[in-house]
């Protein structure tokens, strides 16, 4: 789907990833990428992720931590990194770590994402996983 239509432009790949994440964050039905997301779409997705994260945090307080909630946190972090910046993406992850590892969040974040380039590498890898998933879904 998205990969097949990708011209190879790095910015376009980011726009496509933001489009997918905007649909997830805002809860709107996915539609094929046509153009860069509008400010309103980004705001709705940002607010949607905030609400979804509040739900995740409340379930984590009760001890309910599952793959779906972890995937949502990773998606929200990637969305924030792509739209707001590196610090915003790290903050989402920092909040998650502080929920499950109180007092250790900063040292864990230093260990996992010590440098900006490491985070970028993880974001690129995540985008690659999305592309592979899209490719596998579009093959007969």
Condensed to tens digits (0 to 9), the pLDDT of residues 69-117 reads: 888 999 999 999 999 998 898 889 888 877 776 655 454 455 455 544 5
Indicate yes or no: pTM above 0.75.
Answer: no
Query: 3-state DSSP call for residue 111?
Result: helix
Residue 1 in domain: no
Residue 63 in domain: yes
pLDDT tens per residue across span 18-75? 999 999 999 999 999 999 999 999 999 999 999 999 999 898 888 888 888 888 999 9
Residue 39 in domain: yes
Residue 3 in domain: no
Classify residue 126 by burial, with Cβ atoms within 10 Å: 0-12, 13-18, 19+.
middle
Provide the CA 39 distance to its chain's centre, in angstroms: 18
Residue 2 in domain: no
Range of the domain at 114: 10-138
Count up the domains in the chain and report the number: 1
């Amino acid at each position: 789907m998205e990969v097949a239509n990708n011209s190879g432009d790095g910015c376009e790949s980011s726009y496509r990833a933001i489009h997918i994440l905007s649909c997830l964050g805002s809860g709107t039905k996915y539609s094929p990428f046509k153009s860069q997301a509008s400010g309103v779409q980004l705001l709705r997705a940002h607010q949607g992720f905030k609400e979804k994260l509040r739900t995740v945090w409340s379930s984590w307080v009760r001890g309910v931590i599952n793959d779906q909630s972890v995937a949502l946190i990773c998606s929200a972090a990637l969305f924030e990194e792509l739209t707001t910046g590196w610090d915003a993406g790290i903050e989402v992850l920092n909040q998650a770590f502080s929920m499950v590892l109180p007092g250790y969040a900063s040292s864990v974040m230093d260990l996992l994402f010590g440098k900006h380039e490491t985070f970028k590498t993880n974001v690129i890898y995540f985008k690659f996983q999305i592309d592979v998933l899209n490719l596998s879904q579009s093959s007969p």
